[in-house]
Structure 1
Amino acid sequence: MRLIRPRAAAAVAALLLAATACGSSGSGSSSGLNPPDLKPLAKLGKSEGAVNLIAWAGYVEDGSDDPKTDWVSDFEKQTGCQVHSKVAASSDEMVKLMKTGEYDAVSASGDASLRLIASGDAAPVNTKLVPNYQDIFSGLKNGAWNSVKGQMYGIPHGRGANLLMYNTQKVSPAPTSWSAVFDDAAKYRGHVTAYDSPIYIADAALYLKATRPELKIKDPYALDQKQFDAAVALLKKQNADIGEYWSDYLKEISAFKSGDSVIGTSWQVIANLTAGEGAKVKAFVPREGSTGWSDTWMVSAKAKHPDCAYRWLNWIVSPKVNAEVAEYFGEAPANAKACDLTSDKSFCATYHAADESYWKNIAFWNTPIEQCLDGRTDVKCVPYAKWVQAWTEIKG
């Protein structure tokens, strides 16, 4: 069974203010963010003999969970860098751990990366020191969630979309829009499911962007107070129809198998596993597009083992290893050459790995900050700390 990290965010509002304490309006990939002036590593030195990593479950496998799943041992043999890793249960935990200065690198998602950049906990990355970076899909480079003003702050690892999944026997007609879980959710009251995280507010904002043009939403992660209030109101209305919020993928599979859930947000890997266990489900990107996630390996600005950290970044996105991680975890690989090395030759097609037109419809998770990420300077946007507070209210 593949390991999927639970991305549920802990409500630690004070911690989340870090991203809003820095930054001013500016141009670049992350418009509005002006991080501390840190310099990337200029050149590699000798291996320090160790590297301390924070990762999602399934990203740093050494054979202890499954003897056949091990991409750490060969790395240690080839580099002399002994890997010490800690699995984090949420993006908030990753941010907190990175602030300790005890870890060299982290596999950050977009709802954590800008916080780490803005607070100076993540250093800019010299991509020239990561040879495999040249083969990373172009759509993952210079993203709003992993770069600022053309400077990369990490090496992309993989990506996935948040899909609309439904039971084909109990949901008719087949849905084409997110309206099935928002405006029309009452039709399936008690059997609608949604992802349990403050970042899910962006899903509501994405739907409102398409259905309420008067709100003028350009970026679902850059919401002024009026836009934010509209998204929260929509989710509070949806709450009456929700049977269960999920963060544990096994529970979602079970709910769709039993019929407790018949429609809601999901991931491709969950859809595959659910169908594999006999449930009649389909999952797709609705006409409004979807949110999604892209994970980036970032180096700590306080890294005690920067050389080993860079060696790990290059290793984890090397074609063979990236293919192994993607299949084990259930995500599209970042390295284009990985697609020729997957054991399932249809894997990259299933996960749309090389289909950049597909990813153009995906709004990857980003960290909301006061300096609006859509470039507006005449208003303040609602920072992530308030998203966390609102999520608690939405769920009641």
Structure 2
Amino acid sequence: MRLKATARVMPGRVKAAAAVAAAAALAAAGLGACSGEDEKPVGVAKVASTLGPGEGALNLVTLPGSVESGSTDPRVDWVTPFQERTNCKVGLKTVQTPEEMADLMRDKDRRYDGVAAPPEVAGRLVEDNQVVPINPDLVDGYKKLEPKLRKLLERDGKHYGIPYVWGSNLLLYDTRTVPQPSSWAALFDPGQARRFSGKLVMRDSPLAIAEAALYLKGKERKLKIRDPFSLTRRQLAAAGRVLAEQRPYVQQYWELPADAVSAFAGGRAVLGQGWPYHVDVLNRASRPVQGVVPSEGATGWMDAWMIGARVQHPNCMYQWLQWTASPDVQQQVAEWTGVAPANPQACSGDRLKSGFCAAYHVGDRDYLDKIIFAHAPSKACRAGKDEDEKDDEDCTDYAEWTRTWIRSTRA
């Protein structure tokens, strides 16, 4: 059985279609193919040192909704103003899954200038040399982006991505039914999960294994888990067993954010994994759902813009990096997608409302310090080992995580 590799779809990516369904539940309870696709590559680019005039075109790879040109909603468009200002015509290649995105960027017969990569893609592109380092000195406003986010894609002193948006994975609970939980054990300990059997929800992603690993980090100290995204085979197998034991109590593994909203709104869920988006939407609809960062910590994710190794229009790409990092564009992206902007200045002046910024913890450094941000699982262990651990014990990669997720969550 092959897992349908699902994207971590932002709320706004399905907003136009899913908002109607979500509202009903609450009441009841790009532009085209890349112009350069057929051209053969002429080598691998190097990090830029200077910029010249734009080349007139820009070919990007994105997941649905991460870049809007007015085609979904004419009021939501940060592509057209960019084209008018720079004369760089944007071609969007929209993919449905992270795996499709990774495959396209690895295809040597295709030339994409940039990609809005989620963490399960970004790290692998760096390892596979499918992206090139970025010169942050050429990106106006780079130093205004959250410092912790800027460091996530640093390797050996080089910068491989410009932060775009970010979010966190919280423990959600219905305050009418569930006492305030303080640990991931509420969701993963069989004795505790059984109390709410059939009313648990989990996001449908192999990276959700990391929450089970966080639970085990405190419960099974002999496993010596340090980084929940960097697991040995023994650690990954243990996390898989936790998920398999939890499976009988899970009502739904959600792919679309609206699905989790509907489950909590309709009373079909009272406990599970979710985002600040879910808390915000449900609270505004007067639903008593809260989200907490458990004692073991919470995981998070960041999407970042990266430059392809066979970039054809580097000057236009750098202009795009500056454009998408600017406060005004970050405001539009955040409002549409329902996630936190990487530039806290999006909350300054009369841009984003203070209620939005508080709900999504924009600029909250103390909150950010509690978040363990995702990176692509790799055979090269990111965390150090104790002296008594085997030197030849590798960690597990994303393909192994995917197989474990399938075995653990599919009946």
User: TM-score normalised to the size of structure 2?
Assistant: 0.84
Distance 1:39 1:374 in 2: 29
Whether 1:314 and 2:328 are equivalent positions in the alignment is no
2:405 aligned with 1:391, yes or no?
Answer: yes
Residues 141 and 5 of structure 1: is their aligned pair in 2 closer, same or farther, counting only changes over 3 Å?
Answer: farther
1:122 aligned to 2:131?
Answer: yes
Any stretches of 5+ residues in structure 2 without a counterpart?
Answer: 1-9, 16-43, 386-390
Give the Cα–Cα distance (whole angstroms) in 2 for the partners of residues 294 and 5 of structure 1: 19
Aligned counterparts of 1:287 and 1:91: Cα–Cα separation in 2: 30
Task: Identify if the C-alpha distance between structure 1 residues 388 and 60 changes in structure 2 by more than 3 Å, giving closer, same or farther.
Answer: same
Q: Distance in 1 between matches of 2:229 and 2:45?
A: 25
- The residue that corresponds to 1:174 in the other structure is 180
1:367 to partner: Cα distance:
0.8
CA contact (8 A) 1:109 1:365 kept: no
Q: Deviations over 1:305-333 (max 9, x none)?
A: 11111111110011111122112211221
2:79 counterpart of 1:65: no
Residue in structure 2 matching 1:329, options 337, 357, 368: 337
CA contact (8 A) 2:169 2:299 kept: yes
- Check the 8 A contact 2:13/2:66 in 1, yes or no: no
- The equivalent of 2:20 in structure 1 is none
1-structure distance, mates of 2:392, 2:140: 42
Q: Give the counterpart letter for 1:64 in structure 2.
A: S
Match of 2:90 in 1: 83
Q: CA deviation at 1:39?
A: 3.1
Provide the C-alpha distance between the structure 1 equivalents of 2:379 and 2:313, rounded to a whole number of angstroms.
33
Q: Indicate which of 241, 250, 254 corresponds to 1:246.
A: 254
Q: Distance in 1 between matches of 2:384 and 2:183?
A: 28
Q: Paired residue for 2:212?
A: 204
Is the 2:45–2:310 Cα contact (8 Å) retained in structure 1?
no
Give SS of 2:151's match.
coil
Counterpart residue number, 2:264: 256
* 2:302 counterpart (294, 301, 310): 294
- 2:377 aligned partner, one-letter code: P
Shift of 1:345: 2.5
Distance 2:171 2:94 in 1: 28
Q: Deviations over 1:76-118 (max 9, x none)?
A: 0111001111333222121112123332111111111111011
For residues 341-383 of structure 1, give each alpha carbon's deviation from its aligned partner in whole angstroms, at most 9, with x where no partner exists: 5331232222112112211211111111111011445420111
Counterpart of 1:215? 223
Structure 2 Cα separation of the partners of residues 182 and 4 of structure 1? 29
3-state DSSP of counterpart to 2:336: helix
User: Equivalent residues in 2 for 1:10-49 (5 A)?
Assistant: 39-49=46-56
Letter in 1 for 2:75: K
1:150 aligned to which of 157, 162, 167: 157
Q: How does the TM-score come out when normalised to structure 1?
A: 0.88
In the alignment, the residues of structure 2 paired with residue 5 and residue 196 of structure 1 have an alpha-carbon distance, to the nearest angstrom, of 16
Q: What's 1:270 paired with? A: 278
C-alpha displacement at 1:5, in angstroms?
A: 6.8
Residue identity matched to 1:179: A
Correspondent of 1:379 among 393, 397, 409: 393
Q: Tell me, what secondary structure is at the counterpart of 1:113?
A: helix
1:5–1:89 Cα contact (<8 Å) kept: no
SS at match of 1:39: coil
2:232, 2:173 → 1: CA distance? 32
Report SS of the residue matched to 1:388: helix
Amino acid at match of 1:226: R
Asked whether 1:141 is paired with 2:150, we answer: yes
Distance 1:345 1:353 in 2: 10
Pairing 1:159-198 to 2, within 5 Å after superposition: 159-171=166-178, 173-183=179-189, 184-198=192-206
**What's the offset of the Cα at 1:2?**
4.9
| Structure 2 CA distance for aligned equivalents of residues 383 and 62 of structure 1 | 35
Q: Which whole-Å CA distance do the structure 2 matches of 1:51 and 1:219 have between them?
A: 37
* Identity value in percent: 39
2:61·2:92 contact (CA, 8 Å) conserved in 1? Answer: yes
Residues 295, 49 of structure 1: alpha-carbon distance in 2 compared, 3 angstrom cutoff: same
2:117 corresponds in structure 1 to 108
- The root-mean-square deviation of aligned C-alpha atoms, in Å, is 1.8
Residues 220 and 38 (structure 1 numbering): CA distance in 2 closer, same or farther, change over 3 Å?
farther
CA distance in structure 1 between the partners assigned to 2:255 and 2:303 by the alignment: 17
Deviation at 1:209, TM superposition (A): 1.2
Q: How many residues get paired? A: 363
Q: 1:357 to 1:154 in 2, by over 3 A?
A: same
Match of residue 285 from structure 1: 293
| 1:38 shift after superposition | 6.9
